[in-house]
Structure 1
Amino acid sequence: MRVKGEVSMKADIILYNGSVLTVDHKDSVVSAVATKDNKIIYAGSDDEALKFFGENTKLIDLKGRSLVPGFIDSHLHTAVLGANSLAIDCRSPGVTSIEDIKRLIKEAAKVTPKGQWIRGWGYDHSKLTEKRHPNRYDLDEAAPEHPVILTRVCAHISAHNSLSLKTAGIADDASDPEGGVMDREHGRINGVMRENAHMQILKTSQLSREELIHAMSAANDILIREGITSVHDSGGYGAVQMSAIQDAVKEKKLRLRLYAMIFSFVENLSFVEEYIHMGLHTGFGDDHFRLGPVKVMIDGSSSGPTAATIEPYCSNPGDSGILSMTQEQVDDIIIRAHKAGWQVTSHAVGDKAVTMIVSAIEKALQQFPRENHRHRIEHCAMINDELLDRIKKTGIIPIPNPIFLYEFGDGYMVNYGKERAYRMFPNKSYFDRGILAAGSSDSPITFSNPILNMHLAVNRETQTGQMINLKERISVKEALRMFTYHGAYASFEEDRKGSIEAGKLADLVLLSDDLLKVSSDRIKEITVDMTIIDGDIVYRKESE
């Protein structure tokens, strides 16, 4: 594969003597790649690649290791990931109890000026000794003079102290918002906020523009070390984040390529409305910052659990999750965004929520037919054969999170039962039906590492070693395709990236091993030795 008419061109970089997994339409494996400026100019044999050698060409011996296209995470919260890296880490196994959380908050309070926010993230009440959420009384004890917010690992539930509630103007007897729940003890709000209640209170603890830029810069460094070169950003901080992304890209604090979703929840749809009426639509921008789909939130989290299910939870027959929007509300915004030229998508986890967004997209296409719409469903976790058929017929792109099976799979078996847990993230069924599912992590909900994510797509194992429906395992090459080419397809950019072919952007990742020779149970042990974006080496392991 060579750029026509460019035989005399001298390459900036030649990478040779490797296992180059091109992820082209034939899944070709070659040995060498040559790049010039920000493009790939050749992929093929060592001998042919070396013909592009010139006085200033940099030679990189791959030493038999795999070179793959830059990883694309099709659903990740960039600013939230960066902000969390600067906040209190409450994840298991480092944190095992509410007492641990209180200790960490007390330490933070000693070095944080009074009145300023203390933020923590990643706690999982099911893994805490107390088997409950931390509440306002716990957090008041730890930091009575600071507003405190702790976000659960799923990012759909948060715990707040009294000063945080006061800052948000939430009285002890406040009513639950539409699509949200505020937990109570003895009739008094106890600081635990679920779904839209959580989303609304987040507005009072927003990061500043400068803090957002700093957070995205921190996320950039984390992700390029893991070989991620493109992110479909799922939002988190509204309009100010869009502006901050633009400045971060301009100032080169963000080398990642971002495909940014226009996201809002039911209580704040004005943000989406403004974009719909503005006349802009999906695709506006450049290779580093491009507008993605309009995204709405239909239900809760898979691990909360607050996902909206058709049948009640096995762990609680009186509960079937939380819906953030009605079918009529979903139909209205999806149809109008589709008509205005936007790609549309929704957070939909439970089978009830997935049914709602599929129905809305079907109605939009019936009323306003459009080819190549590439509408999506974020997570699309719990589905059945009927939904699979409707997704295929409608041309919808699911955005699954294979890595969720590792961190949350044991809980799925308890909360949803074996039958429904086995139907979650059915990646083999997607491939068998010709559905182009694009892989994602939903980081910082869980680990952003795309290699670990591919490992879980291939192995489908939980933290305790349970296997969840081995019939839905996929091959290594299929897993790689989910996190490269399919991600590019989901953003209408498969002609620019997602595979190693002449003429495409020079986004490349060098792995520590030959991906095709490592046993399936050892995929997770592979690391990234080098990341290249736009033909520039942006990360290189010290030993390289």
Structure 2
Amino acid sequence: MRMIKNIFVLSVLIGLLFASGCGENKMNDNCDLVLLNGEIYTVNDSIPWAEALAVKGDRIYKVGSNEEIEMYIGDSTAIIDLNGRFVMPGFIDSHAHLIGIGENLIDVDLRDAQNWDEVIAAVAKAASERRPGEWIVGRGWHQEKFDPEPEPNVEGYPVHNALSNAVPYNPVMLVHASGHAVFANAKAMEIAGADTITSNPPGGVIVRDSTGKPIGVFEENAENIIRSAYERYLNDRSLDELNAEVIKKIKFASDLCLKNGVTTLHDAGEDLETIELIKKSVDSNYVKIRLYVMINDALDKLKGKLKDYKLVGYGENRLTVRAIKQYIDGALGSRGAWLLEPYSDLPDSYGSNVTPIKTLDDYCRLAAENGFQMCIHTIGDRGNREALNLYEKYSRQYENFDQMRWRIEHAQHVTPFDIKRFARLNVIAAMQGIHCTSDAPFVIERLGNERAASGAYVWRSMLDRGVVICNGTDAPVESVNPIASFYASVTRKNKDGVGFYTKQKMTREEAIKTYTINGAYAAFEENLKGSLVEGKLADLVVLSNNLMKCSEDDILKTEVVYTIVGGKIVYKK
């Protein structure tokens, strides 16, 4: 009898211990954030759709049905009832310019200027609020989008006189929408010492009238004539003031990205000093977005310091630096893209090679020797061919080249022959869907119909060959809004609904991948983000429309409802 009693007591104790253990496990399974009643597109082929998701810490804990996820709700769990809204991984903008985005929020924004008169009016208004001698800086004008065409003009570019008369006492520097030219008024040219006898620098053009006088446009490397004068002006300010201004731009840019549902941004080129300020901003928690930063600095400067700047997952995966950015040519709009055949609308020009091939080769060697990804800005078909020639050289020298994931930024105009080389060399094409429809009005003028049809923004040809495409906006060249770029990717229609070689468009599934898992892959982060899978970072966006199912017209009406980074709501409409 005593033995039976002891067995009973032992059984009770075991039961209590078991119950206690289960309770503890249940408590440990309580999650921090739960999303219910949604249409969740996971970008995970095994489970493409779900209706609920649970987050613990900064990671996705479980994806499944409402019933499966509700069991992880505890007293302290935050709950979002999606009410049928669409959820997808946070947008990864694979090519943009962080500081430039911030500058556009501070300087004169000219992206919506419909003609040259509107540009002059915007600059004159800014001048009325400044003291004489203060520089006025703006960005976003594009001569091909002016209606009517400015008069007088040279190669479609306006001449500075009207702007100089409207703003005579303030030097003005207006960056072209592409970033590959600047416009200066007479005061800025006077300060810079740019006149009739000033020579074109290597890889740059001072646009002149028939008498040889500069009209105010400085293309490619000639920009530095005006930019250097502006830099001298800035140097009158203290280093602390300058750094504070940069950090302000970083914060503004980060906040704007989150408002647009962008949770990771590939920053396409910063110098070492700016990277230090970005790191400082991450430490101070000014940066809520995740950043993948490419280094763009002088070769001699990098040779001794490159390894010191390599960062992977710094600041709780807020900052990674493991890529080098360089330029082989300019932009198509400013006729700086380097072409195999002359421009159709300027037969004596092939564009510009802005960085000597030998110098690019040296950068490639530095990247390969130090485990850095190489990212070369390449627009024209000649530029793409020369960049691929360099990459092919290193593919023969490094057995693991296809794992190095070297990229070509933009890849806007590529011959059919070189499309095959992208695939064979496993080169990533970092393209921007919105550039296609934004540039469409002048692409045929620049290239002619045959070249445009076979090689301009050839997403379908690339994808069918197995090339990895990652998407983005090149902001501030375009708005950082990924919805507009997604729409362009799946429709290839401009704002008037006119299609541009629509056989090259992506499917919606492909376009979402270019903005999520492909962007993660392009930064060696596909195991960390880019799909809603258990164990990955809880970076996601809640949208007002289902991008996989809504009508084409409704795509552009889509709004960001929530942006969530690391399980934290960082933007709510």
Fold shared, TM-score > 0.5 on shorter chain = yes
Q: Partner amino acid for 1:57?
A: T
- The correspondence for 1:24, drawn from 26, 44, 67, is 44
Aligned position for 2:447 = 416
Aligned position for 2:248 = 214
Secondary structure at the residue paired with 1:525?
A: coil
- The 5 A counterparts of 1:321-400 are 321-371=351-401, 372-400=403-431
Q: Partner amino acid for 2:173?
A: I
- 2: distance between equivalents of 1:355 and 1:220? 35
- 1: distance between equivalents of 2:496 and 2:554? 17
Structure 1 residue 325 displacement after superposition:
2.4
Q: Is the aligned partner of 1:12 residue 2:18? A: no
In 2 relative to 1, CA 167–36 (structure 1 residues): closer, same or farther, beyond 3 Å?
A: farther
Per-residue CA shift, 1:126-151, capped at 9, x if unaligned? 23334343444334323222221011
- 2: distance between equivalents of 1:24 and 1:309? 40
- The correspondence for 2:285, drawn from 228, 240, 252, is 252
After alignment, is 517-526 or 28-37 more displaced? 517-526
Q: Is the aligned partner of 1:41 residue 2:61? A: yes
In 2 relative to 1, CA 420–405 (structure 1 residues): closer, same or farther, beyond 3 Å?
A: same
In 2 relative to 1, CA 285–357 (structure 1 residues): closer, same or farther, beyond 3 Å?
A: farther
Q: Partner amino acid for 2:544?
A: S
- 2: distance between equivalents of 1:28 and 1:213? 39
- TM-score calculated relative to the size of structure 1: 0.92
Runs of 4+ with >6 A deviation: none
- 2: distance between equivalents of 1:421 and 1:271? 39
- 2: distance between equivalents of 1:425 and 1:251? 40
Per-residue CA shift, 1:417-455, capped at 9, x if unaligned? 223223222222232222211111101111221111111
Aligned residues: 530
- The correspondence for 1:262, drawn from 295, 313, 332, is 295
Aligned position for 1:239 = 272
In 2 relative to 1, CA 166–369 (structure 1 residues): closer, same or farther, beyond 3 Å?
A: farther
Secondary structure at the residue paired with 1:292?
A: strand
After alignment, is 423-432 or 155-164 more displaced? 423-432
Given that 1:531 and 1:540 are in contact with CA atoms closer than 8 Å, whether structure 2 keeps it comes out as yes
- 1: distance between equivalents of 2:341 and 2:475? 28
In 2 relative to 1, CA 261–499 (structure 1 residues): closer, same or farther, beyond 3 Å?
A: same
Q: Is the aligned partner of 1:456 residue 2:480? A: no
In structure 1, the gaps of 5 or more residues are none
- 2: distance between equivalents of 1:460 and 1:230? 24
Given that 1:64 and 1:513 are in contact with CA atoms closer than 8 Å, whether structure 2 keeps it comes out as no
Secondary structure at the residue paired with 2:122?
A: helix
- 1: distance between equivalents of 2:300 and 2:216? 27
Q: Partner amino acid for 1:196?
A: N
- TM-score calculated relative to the size of structure 2: 0.88
- 1: distance between equivalents of 2:459 and 2:419? 11
Q: Alignment RMSD, CA only? A: 2.1
Aligned position for 1:224 = 258
Aligned position for 1:404 = 435
- 1: distance between equivalents of 2:225 and 2:397? 33
In 2 relative to 1, CA 98–531 (structure 1 residues): closer, same or farther, beyond 3 Å?
A: same
Given that 2:168 and 2:187 are in contact with CA atoms closer than 8 Å, whether structure 1 keeps it comes out as yes
- The 5 A counterparts of 1:84-483 are 84-92=104-112, 95-128=113-146, 129-131=148-150, 132=153, 133-170=157-194, 172-185=196-209, 186-199=211-224, 201-206=226-231, 208-235=242-269, 238-264=271-297, 268-276=298-306, 278=307, 280-281=309-310, 283=312, 285-286=314-315, 287-371=317-401, 372-422=403-453, 423-483=455-515
Q: Partner amino acid for 2:323?
A: P
* Richer in helix (by share): 2
Structure 1 residue 279 displacement after superposition:
5.3
Q: Partner amino acid for 2:223?
A: H
In 2 relative to 1, CA 499–200 (structure 1 residues): closer, same or farther, beyond 3 Å?
A: farther
- 2: distance between equivalents of 1:100 and 1:471? 36
Secondary structure at the residue paired with 1:244?
A: helix
In 2 relative to 1, CA 399–149 (structure 1 residues): closer, same or farther, beyond 3 Å?
A: same
- 1: distance between equivalents of 2:139 and 2:558? 27
After alignment, is 502-511 or 19-28 more displaced? 19-28
In 2 relative to 1, CA 78–125 (structure 1 residues): closer, same or farther, beyond 3 Å?
A: same
Aligned position for 2:517 = 485
Given that 2:545 and 2:555 are in contact with CA atoms closer than 8 Å, whether structure 1 keeps it comes out as no
Given that 2:101 and 2:249 are in contact with CA atoms closer than 8 Å, whether structure 1 keeps it comes out as yes
Given that 1:376 and 1:398 are in contact with CA atoms closer than 8 Å, whether structure 2 keeps it comes out as yes
After alignment, is 527-536 or 213-222 more displaced? 213-222
Given that 2:180 and 2:220 are in contact with CA atoms closer than 8 Å, whether structure 1 keeps it comes out as yes
Aligned position for 1:498 = 530
After alignment, is 518-527 or 130-139 more displaced? 130-139
In structure 2, the gaps of 5 or more residues are 1-24, 235-241
Q: Partner amino acid for 1:222?
A: L
In 2 relative to 1, CA 274–75 (structure 1 residues): closer, same or farther, beyond 3 Å?
A: farther
Structure 1 residue 410 displacement after superposition:
1.7
Given that 1:120 and 1:150 are in contact with CA atoms closer than 8 Å, whether structure 2 keeps it comes out as yes
Structure 1 residue 204 displacement after superposition:
4.0
